[in-house]
Chains A and B, each alone.
Chain A
Amino acid sequence: MSDYKKWISASKQSLWRTIGLFFLLMGPGIITSNVDNDAGGITTYSLAGAEFGLKLVWSLIPIMIALIVIQEMCARMGVVTGKGLSDLIREKFGAKVTFYLMIGMFLTNMGNAISNFAGVAAGMEIFGVEKFVSVPLSALLVWWMVVKGTYKTVEKAFLIACVFYLSYIITGILVKPDWAHVFEQLLHPQLSFQSSEITMLIGLVGTTIAPWMQFYLQASIVEKGIKIEEYKYARFDVITGSVVVHIVAFFIILVCAETLFKHGIRIETAKDAALSLKPLAGKYCTYLFAFGLVNASLFAASILPLSTTYLICEGLGWEVGIDKKFVEAPQFYGIYSLMIFLGAGVILYPEIPLIPIMYFSQVINGMVLPFVLIFMLLLINDKKLMMNYTNGPLFNFIAWATALLMIGFTLIFLFLMI
């Protein structure tokens, strides 16, 4: 590895140097974006496609732009300050605000953890594995990875596993859509202001731009120790990640729109989607779809609880680190265990109402996000902290617009729920 690095820094040809540096520094953006396509994400995209066909597919483009802007801000803050987002929030806004924000983060991510174990259960059931086997096994696997400290290796393995998201793209091509129609839909925004459509739109934004992502991305950038001179490569990584995640989302919507929507089949979960594909598109499509779901859920289930625990403990000033003993970092291990075992345990409870749980976690997601965005905007425009790397007017406009839209959306969502 070090030889490779040396070769890159010695290489005189700028093209090879650029490509080499990118591969050295890539990772945080791509991993974050792909964890984002977790069970909740795949469910939401499937539902969007099955219920509305290609009608809402245009929304992916503005969502992608917002995601790029927000993620880029995080990456920049990580590189310039060398600190995590919860660190910065605590230092600028004080203990009280941080404490309540951390409670919110815990609740949303608990919901996310539950929905990811639900995703594992649903995906494995298609392969004929009972949830009483798959869920405890995957919980133990995730727990073991952290306790044994092989988390970094796992992250790399999952980075390779991101390739399996191709399964959705292949499925999308297998169902042979009418491409001319698809692109027309993509480029022509339409919205009929029905409550069901608005709700779905909020779901799409909420699942793509999640609060925990910003914390996780910034932490990974800091962890990687990327220097300000190398920042442009990290930025490229973040943009690539955001684009990839939306391509995958696009294909999931496409598959469900071309098959389920066309035949008028109603579904409620991603598992329904996978199963209903069988008569319409063949059993390989079902398996590919289910495999993607399991992979995504496991990926998120192993990264999300750990990153949540890190950000909470950092914000509240508790000892962190998987190299610490239990007595040295009781809060760290306590919160982590609670997230994994409660998350998996809830799924094992017979007849658990999964849909309301996922809904609830999405609501809190949406409620916490505007706060996180506003904190981020205040931080990144702080001259003392960011020196010459504060936001330009365009970035500020897009980020503020996203924050305000999210607040508006959340209010509408709450209004609709009542």
Chain B
Amino acid sequence: MEQLKEFYFFSEFLNRKVYHSAGETLGKIFDLVAERAEPYPLIIGMILRRNRKREAYLPWEKIQQIEPRLLCSEEGLEDPKTLHSQKEIIFLREEVLDKQIVDTYGAKVVRVNDLHFLRVDSRLRLVHVDVGFRGLMRRVGWERMMDKILQWLFSYVLPNQFISWKYVQLLSGSDLLQLSVSQKKLSHLHPADLADIIEDLSSRERSAIFRALDTEMAAETLEEIDPKIQKALIETIPVEKASDIMEEMSPSDAADLLADLPEERAEKILEGMEEKIAEDLRELLIHPEETAGGLMTTAYLHLPPETPVEAAMARLRAEAPHLDIVDYIYIVDEEEVLQGVVSIRDLLTAKSHQSLSEIKGPRVVSVKLDEDQKEVVEAFAKYGFRALPVVDEENHLKGVISFRSVLEVLAPDAG
């Protein structure tokens, strides 16, 4: 097969006629079949459409010549059904061409206009997907005309817009079933970007992607997703998995989500959780969403006043991975009454033998449980804290509001 060009587009193959060595046509190319190989899939054959109903599979080795005419012998054709038993293959037209994919490098959902193959050792490998206008025009058959017009008018050549296959995550078919593959590709993405992408997809694709994520990534992504879609996603997965994921979420986000779910399901999810987390969430659920109590989280650090700085640092270091609030440590007595606040700056500048009560600030600002969220926002703006403690009528510490929750009140549609 010396006649192979340096590179090919899918559009050059699509509907191209395949000839018998004797001269008559065998059929038209309907699809290309690729073997899943890292990083670039290898083309292993093509599906020919012989007439409206009949399809045949032509393995790459049986092709006698590609340029200038595609030739093969009648005996080279196989029954396409044999392909379906193989797992590691992709039907490029059925699963990739014209479909939406996730570009994990640019972090967005795009539509595939064409595919770009490169010759490697006399075989073709899929290296790029083309998502640009040039690819679209090539498919429509206007590429040369457009080139001439643009050249003549503006002396401009429209460039190709390629995305390397390394960064392509398919949304349908075999790719999503291959958990390890999608895990690796999706882990390029920041959870907030992945959340935006999931919001752009159809409900089927959403749950497919969501199921492919590991618990931690799923939790982080879920926190960033629009509440309406959050709810729909959680309802599509089994209760046990929902419990695992929501355990990993920030308690204030988890509580908001639970409040939106039907009571029965929320209760089942809570039952599946670790007891302590479930208890905290139940507590948070009591408070109406638009009050300080509805905004607060329970993942913060609180310590008795006599704790030495050294021990406080050690606790903070140990618990930081699970905390929503790491900027402050709250000082409470045995009755959980709020005594003071120590910031991480205070801790870093203090001597290690001092106790927390010695280094705490002279006064402490807090908000009441039933305070309206507007007042909370004002308090944040006024004092410039990164977090505010929430107390009940008797000054018992009930939770802490993070700046992030306030941002969600202020700009619910941003991000």
Binding site for B on A (CB under 8 A): 2, 6, 9-10, 81-83, 87, 90-91, 94-96, 98-100, 149, 222, 225, 227, 316-317, 319, 323
Closest to A97 in B: B140
Are B413 and A94 within 8 A (Cβ)? no
Q: Which residues of B contact A94 (CB under 8 A)?
A: 97-98, 139
Are A82 and B204 within 8 A (Cβ)? yes
- B232 partner, pick from A87, A96, A149, A225, beta carbons under 8 A: A225
A94 to B10, CA, bound (A): 12
B361 on the interface (CB 8 Å rule)?
A: no
Provide 25 A-B residue pairs closer than 8 Å at the C-beta atoms, listed in order of the A residue: A6-B263, A9-B262, A82-B203, A82-B204, A83-B202, A87-B100, A87-B202, A91-B99, A94-B139, A95-B113, A95-B139, A95-B140, A96-B139, A99-B139, A99-B140, A222-B202, A225-B228, A225-B232, A227-B232, A316-B111, A316-B136, A317-B100, A317-B110, A317-B113, A323-B413
A41 to B139, CA, bound (A): 37
Can you name 6 extra interface pairs (CB under 8 A) apart from A87-B202, A99-B136, A100-B140?
Answer: A91-B99, A96-B140, A99-B139, A225-B228, A316-B136, A317-B136
Smallest distance from the beta carbon of B15 to chain A beta carbons, Å?
10
Binding site for A on B (CB under 8 A): 97-100, 108, 110-113, 131, 136, 139-141, 202-205, 228-229, 232, 259-260, 262-263, 413
Smallest distance from the beta carbon of A52 to chain B beta carbons, Å?
43
Q: Which residues of A contact B259 (CB under 8 A)?
A: 2
A100 to B141, CA, bound (A): 11
Q: Which residues of A contact B100 (CB under 8 A)?
A: 87, 317
A9 to B112, CA, bound (A): 41
Q: How many A-B residue pairs lie within 8 Å, measured between CB atoms?
A: 53
Smallest distance from the beta carbon of A309 to chain B beta carbons, Å?
16
Q: Which residues of B contact A99 (CB under 8 A)?
A: 136, 139-140
Q: Which residues of B contact A9 (CB under 8 A)?
A: 262
Smallest distance from the beta carbon of B185 to chain A beta carbons, Å?
20
A242 to B228, CA, bound (A): 29
Q: Which residues of B contact A316 (CB under 8 A)?
A: 111, 136
- B202 partner, pick from A6, A82, A319, beta carbons under 8 A: A82
Q: Which residues of A contact B108 (CB under 8 A)?
A: 319
A96 to B135, CA, bound (A): 11
Are A95 and B136 within 8 A (Cβ)? yes
Q: Which residues of A contact B260 (CB under 8 A)?
A: 2
Report, nearest first, the 8 A-B pairs whose CB atoms are least far apart.
Answer: A317-B111, A82-B202, A95-B139, A82-B203, A83-B202, A99-B140, A96-B140, A91-B98
A361 to B113, CA, bound (A): 30
A82 to B262, CA, bound (A): 23
Residue from A95, A96, A225 whose CB has the most chain B CB atoms within 10 Å: A95
A98 to B113, CA, bound (A): 12
Are A95 and B98 within 8 A (Cβ)? yes
A2 to B230, CA, bound (A): 14
Closest to B112 in A: A317
Known: A94-B139, A96-B141, A99-B140. A225 touches B413 (CB 8 A): no
Smallest distance from the beta carbon of B223 to chain A beta carbons, Å?
19
- A90 partner, pick from B110, B111, B141, beta carbons under 8 A: B111
Smallest distance from the beta carbon of A225 to chain B beta carbons, Å?
6
Residue from A6, A227, A317 whose CB has the most chain B CB atoms within 10 Å: A317
A317 to B112, CA, bound (A): 8
A317 to B134, CA, bound (A): 12
Q: Which residues of A contact B113 (CB under 8 A)?
A: 95, 317
A184 to B97, CA, bound (A): 56
Q: Which residues of A contact B232 (CB under 8 A)?
A: 225, 227
Closest to B99 in A: A91
Smallest distance from the beta carbon of B87 to chain A beta carbons, Å?
19
A90 to B140, CA, bound (A): 13
Closest to A313 in B: B111
Q: Which residues of B contact A81 (CB under 8 A)?
A: 202, 204
A144 to B31, CA, bound (A): 46
Q: Which residues of A contact B140 (CB under 8 A)?
A: 95-96, 99-100
Residue from B112, B140, B263 whose CB has the most chain A CB atoms within 10 Å: B140
Closest to A89 in B: B98
A91 to B228, CA, bound (A): 27
A83 to B108, CA, bound (A): 17
Q: Which residues of B contact A319 (CB under 8 A)?
A: 108
Residue from B112, B131, B203, B204 whose CB has the most chain A CB atoms within 10 Å: B203
A82 to B139, CA, bound (A): 26
Closest to A149 in B: B413
A99 to B142, CA, bound (A): 11
Smallest distance from the beta carbon of A98 to chain B beta carbons, Å?
8
Smallest distance from the beta carbon of B71 to chain A beta carbons, Å?
26
A317 to B132, CA, bound (A): 9
Are A10 and B202 within 8 A (Cβ)? no
Q: Which residues of A contact B262 (CB under 8 A)?
A: 6, 9
Are A225 and B203 within 8 A (Cβ)? yes
Residue from B97, B110, B202, B259 whose CB has the most chain A CB atoms within 10 Å: B202
A323 to B108, CA, bound (A): 14
Smallest distance from the beta carbon of A315 to chain B beta carbons, Å?
9
Q: Which residues of B contact A149 (CB under 8 A)?
A: 413
Smallest distance from the beta carbon of B170 to chain A beta carbons, Å?
13
Smallest distance from the beta carbon of B10 to chain A beta carbons, Å?
11
Smallest distance from the beta carbon of B76 to chain A beta carbons, Å?
27
Q: Which residues of A contact B205 (CB under 8 A)?
A: 82
Are A317 and B141 within 8 A (Cβ)? no
A84 to B204, CA, bound (A): 13
Closest to A10 in B: B263
Q: Which residues of A contact B97 (CB under 8 A)?
A: 94
Q: Which residues of B contact A222 (CB under 8 A)?
A: 202
Q: Which residues of B contact A2 (CB under 8 A)?
A: 259-260
Q: Which residues of A contact B202 (CB under 8 A)?
A: 81-83, 87, 222
Closest to B201 in A: A82
Closest to A88 in B: B202
Q: Which residues of A contact B136 (CB under 8 A)?
A: 95, 99, 316-317
Q: Which residues of B contact A96 (CB under 8 A)?
A: 139-141
Closest to B114 in A: A95
A96 to B131, CA, bound (A): 15
Q: Which residues of B contact A323 (CB under 8 A)?
A: 413
Smallest distance from the beta carbon of B214 to chain A beta carbons, Å?
24
Q: Which residues of B contact A100 (CB under 8 A)?
A: 140
Q: Which residues of A contact B139 (CB under 8 A)?
A: 94-96, 99
A6 to B413, CA, bound (A): 23
A91 to B99, CA, bound (A): 6
Smallest distance from the beta carbon of B16 to chain A beta carbons, Å?
15
A418 to B114, CA, bound (A): 41
Smallest distance from the beta carbon of A64 to chain B beta carbons, Å?
31
Smallest distance from the beta carbon of A104 to chain B beta carbons, Å?
14
Smallest distance from the beta carbon of A331 to chain B beta carbons, Å?
9
Closest to A98 in B: B98
A98 to B202, CA, bound (A): 20
Smallest distance from the beta carbon of A234 to chain B beta carbons, Å?
14
Smallest distance from the beta carbon of A139 to chain B beta carbons, Å?
26
Q: Which residues of B contact A227 (CB under 8 A)?
A: 232
Smallest distance from the beta carbon of A368 to chain B beta carbons, Å?
17
Q: Which residues of A contact B112 (CB under 8 A)?
A: 317
A323 to B113, CA, bound (A): 24
A369 to B228, CA, bound (A): 34
